[in-house]
C-alpha cells in the first residue's frame, strides 16, 4: 500500500436511540466497561440498550459486547445504504460499493461468532472478530485509494470499530494457545480429508474449464457461478491449460481451482487504482468463501509498475490454501486480506508492499521475487494490524527472497517491510535473504509512526542479506535467538495448521 497522506473529514452523526433505559445499574456498567480499551462507547451504548441479560462474569459481558457491536454494525450498514444516492461521481460510488460489501461481511462474522450453533473456539472467534475489524478499515481505505478526501460518511465513525476492539480484548487468546479441542475446528469434518495432488485433483474434478471447448465451461467465471454456494465436501474445478483474461470472485465454500501448472493455466487481469478501481476490487482473483484452495495456477495483474495498487490475488477466505501457484504483479500483488491462510511452494513477484494485508498467514517454502521498481525502492511486506489484540500477521518461513529475472539492484533499495498500520506484525524465519536486502532490513512508513508498537522479527535467516548487525533499532524490532521465541509463529501455533491442513492434502511443516 502506498501512503496518500490525505485527511478524511469525519463527521460523527448522532444516532437515534431507544428511550428504554438499560436494565443494568450505572455502577455495573462502569465496572464492566472499565475492563475494555474503549470504555466510553461501551458505557454509552450499554446504557441506551434494552438488554436484560444478566452479566455475572466475563463470558456474559463478552456476549453482551458482541451483541452491542452487531447492533451498531447493522445500523452502520443502514446508514451506508442510504448514502448511495448521494455519491457524486464514479470514484465515490466505487468506494461506497466496497463498503456495502464489507459491512455485509462484518455482520456475517459477528453473527457467526454469536451463533450458539457454530460452536466456535476462542481462536475461531478471535479470527472472525479480527476480520470484522479489518473489513471496516478496508471500507475506509477505498476512499483514500481514490482520493476522495472530503466525502462525509457517518460509517467512518469510530463507534463500531471501538466496540469490536472491545470484544477482541475480552476474547483475547494467549499467543501459544492457538489450538483446537480434539485437534480439529468444529466446522471442518475430518472425513473431508483427501489427498489433492495435481493429477488426482484434476481426475476428481466436478467440472472442467477449457478455452478450446473440451470442458463443460470455457470461462472460469461461468464454472464459479454454477458451483454450489456451500458444499460440505470439496468442489473441484479443473482449469485446463490456457490464458483466461477475466476477473474471478469465489464466494462459495470449499471450492478448489486446480490448473495444469505454473505458466500453463493463467488467470490474468489489469485493474488498478491508477485505472480507477479501489485496491480491494482490483484483484484478478478474489477468494471470499471459506476453505478455498488454488493449485498449479498462475494469477497475474498486468496493470504495470506505474499504475499504483494492482492486486493479483486477494484472499479473505478462512482456512484457504495456495499450493504451487505463481502470483505476479508489481505494487500490492498479494493481498492477504483477512482470516487464516497458508501458502506453500508458490512464486510471488512484485515491487512495493507486494505482500500486504491483515490475515493470519504463513508463507512457507516459497520464492519471493523482487522486480525493478520505477521509484527505486522495494518493500516486500506491508502488514495491516490495527489492533494489538488481532491474532494476525505475515509469517515467512523457509522461503527465499531474491531478485526476479532481469532485476537490477543498481540504485534500488530493498527492504523486508514497512508498517502500514500501527500494530504491523511480520516475521521472517529460516529464510534465504539475497544481497538485495538493505542492511537496515526494514523501512519507516512515515517518520516515527508505529515504530514502538509494531512487531517485526527475524529468526535464523541465511544469505548475504540476512545479517542483523546493522538492522534498525526500533523498539518493535526483534532478533529471535531461541526456538521458544520463534515457535509462536510456526504453522502449528500461529494458524493451528496441524488441525486443518491435513484435510487439504497439501504438504506443510508444522514446526520450525
Domain boundaries, the chain: 27-171, 202-504
Per DSSP, the residues of 56-104 read -SHHHHHHHHHHHHHHHHHHHHHHHHHHGGG--SHHHHHHHHHHHHHHH
Q: Looking at residues 362-385, what average pLDDT do you find?
A: 96
**41-89 residue pLDDT tens:** 999 998 887 666 788 899 999 999 999 999 999 998 998 888 888 888 8
Cα distance between residue 462 and residue 392, in whole Å: 25
R_g of the chain, CA atoms, integer Å: 22
The tens digit of pLDDT for each residue in 304-318 reads 999 999 999 999 999
Q: Report residue 118's pLDDT band, with 50, 70 and 90 as the boundaries.
A: confident
For 16, the grid coordinates are 437515534
Among residues of the chain, what percentage have pLDDT more than 70? 87
With a cut of 70, say whether residue 176 has pLDDT above it: no
Does the structure show a pLDDT above 50 at 215?
yes
Name the pTM for this structure.
0.92
Q: What would be the CATH architecture of the domain defined by 202-504?
A: 3 Solenoid (2.160)
φ/ψ of 143, rounded to 5, equals: -70, -35
As a CATH number, domain 27-171 is 1.20.140.40
Name residue, grid cell 478448489. Answer: 256
Rounded to an integer, what distance in angstroms lies between the CA atom of residue 510 and that of residue 512? Answer: 7
Mean pLDDT of all residues belonging to the chain: 88
Judged by DSSP in three states, 136 sits in helix
The reply to whether domains 27-171 and 202-504 share a CATH topology is no
Q: pLDDT tens-digit profile of 1-48?
A: 644 333 333 333 333 333 334 567 788 889 999 999 999 999 999 888
Residue 199 has φ and ψ, to the nearest 5°, of -65, -40
Sort 199 into a burial class: Cβ within 10 Å, 0-12 / 13-18 / 19+.
Answer: exposed
Note whether 75 and 49 are within 8 A (CB). Answer: no
Residue 151: predicted pLDDT: 55
Catalytic residues: 353
Q: Find the distance separating the first CA and the last CA of the chain, reported in whole Å.
A: 30
pLDDT tens profile 181-197: 334 444 344 434 343 45
- Give the lowest-confidence range in 151-160, 269-278, 414-423: 151-160
Amino acid at each position: 500500500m502506498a501512503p496518500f497522506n490525505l485527511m478524511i473529514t469525519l463527521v460523527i452523526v448522532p444516532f437515534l436511540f431507544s428511550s428504554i433505559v438499560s436494565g443494568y445499574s450505572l455502577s455495573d456498567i462502569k465496572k464492566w466497561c472499565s475492563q475494555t480499551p474503549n470504555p466510553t462507547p461501551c458505557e454509552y451504548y450499554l446504557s441506551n440498550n434494552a438488554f436484560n441479560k444478566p452479566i455475572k462474569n466475563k463470558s456474559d459481558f463478552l456476549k453482551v459486547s458482541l451483541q452491542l457491536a452487531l447492533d451498531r454494525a447493522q445500523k452502520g450498514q443502514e446508514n451506508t445504504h442510504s448514502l448511495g444516492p448521494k455519491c457524486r461521481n464514479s470514484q465515490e460510488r466505487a468506494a461506497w460499493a466496497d463498503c456495502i460489501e464489507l459491512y455485509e461481511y462484518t455482520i456475517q462474522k459477528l453473527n457467526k461468532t454469536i451463533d450458539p450453533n457454530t460452536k466456535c473456539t476462542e481462536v475461531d472467534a478471535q479470527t472472525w472478530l479480527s476480520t470484522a475489524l479489518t473489513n471496516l478499515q478496508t471500507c475506509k481505505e477505498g476512499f483514500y485509494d481514490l482520493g476522495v478526501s472530503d466525502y462525509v460518511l457517518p460509517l467512518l465513525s469510530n463507534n463500531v470499530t471501538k466496540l469490536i476492539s472491545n470484544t477482541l480484548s475480552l476474547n483475547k487468546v494467549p499467543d501459544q494457545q492457538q489450538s483446537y479441542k480434539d485437534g480439529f475446528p468444529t466446522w471442518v469434518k475430518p472425513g473431508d480429508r483427501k489427498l489433492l495432488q495435481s493429477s488426482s485433483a484434476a481426475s476428481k474434478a466436478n467440472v472442467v474449464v477449457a478455452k478450446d471447448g473440451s470442458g463443460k465451461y470455457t470461462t472460469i467465471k461461468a464454472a464459479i457461478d454454477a458451483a454450489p454456494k456451500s458444499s460440505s465436501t470439496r468442489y473441484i474445478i479443473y482449469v485446463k491449460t490456457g490464458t483466461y483474461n477475466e476477473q474471478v470472485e469465489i464466494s462459495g465454500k470449499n471450492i478448489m481451482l486446480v490448473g495444469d501448472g505454473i505458466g500453463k493455466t493463467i488467470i490474468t487481469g489489469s485493474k488498478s487504482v491508477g485505472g480507477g478501481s479501489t485496491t480491494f476490487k482490483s484483484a484478478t482473483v478474489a477468494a471470499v468463501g471459506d476453505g478455498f484452495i488454488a493449485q498449479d495456477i498462475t494469477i497475474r495483474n498486468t496493470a504495470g509498475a506505474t499504475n499504483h495498487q494492482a492486486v493479483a490475488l486477494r484472499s479473505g477466505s478462512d482456512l484457504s490454501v495456495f499450493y504451487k501457484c505463481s502470483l505476479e504483479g508489481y505494487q500490492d500483488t498479494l493481498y492477504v486480506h483477512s482470516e487464516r491462510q497458508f501458502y506453500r511452494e508458490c512464486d510471488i513477484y512484485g515491487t512495493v508492499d507486494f505482500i500486504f494485508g491483515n490475515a493470519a498467514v504463513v508463507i512457507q517454502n516459497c520464492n519471493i521475487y523482487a522486480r525493478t521498481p520505477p521509484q527505486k525502492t522495494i518493500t516486500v511486506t506491508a502488514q495491516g494490524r490495527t489492533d494489538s489484540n488481532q491474532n494476525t500477521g505475515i509469517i515467512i518461513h523457509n522461503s527465499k527472497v531474491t531478485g526476479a529475472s532481469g532485476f537490477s539492484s543498481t540504485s534500488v533499495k530493498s527492504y523486508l517491510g514497512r508498517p502500514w498500520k500501527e500494530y504491523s506484525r511480520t516475521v521472517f524465519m529460516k529464510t534465504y535473504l539475497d544481497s538485495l536486502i538493505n542492511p537496515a532490513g526494514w523501512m519507516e512508513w512515515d517518520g516515527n509512526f508505529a515504530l514502538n508498537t509494531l512487531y517485526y522479527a527475524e529468526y535464523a535467516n541465511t544469505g548475504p542479506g540476512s545479517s542483523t548487525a546493522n538492522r534498525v533499532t526500533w523498539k518493535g524490532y526483534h532478533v529471535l535467538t531461541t526456538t521458544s521465541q520463534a515457535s509462536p509463529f510456526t504453522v502449528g501455533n500461529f494458524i493451528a495448521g496441524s488441525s486443518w491442513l491435513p484435510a487439504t492434502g497439501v504438504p506443510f511443516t508444522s514446526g520450525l
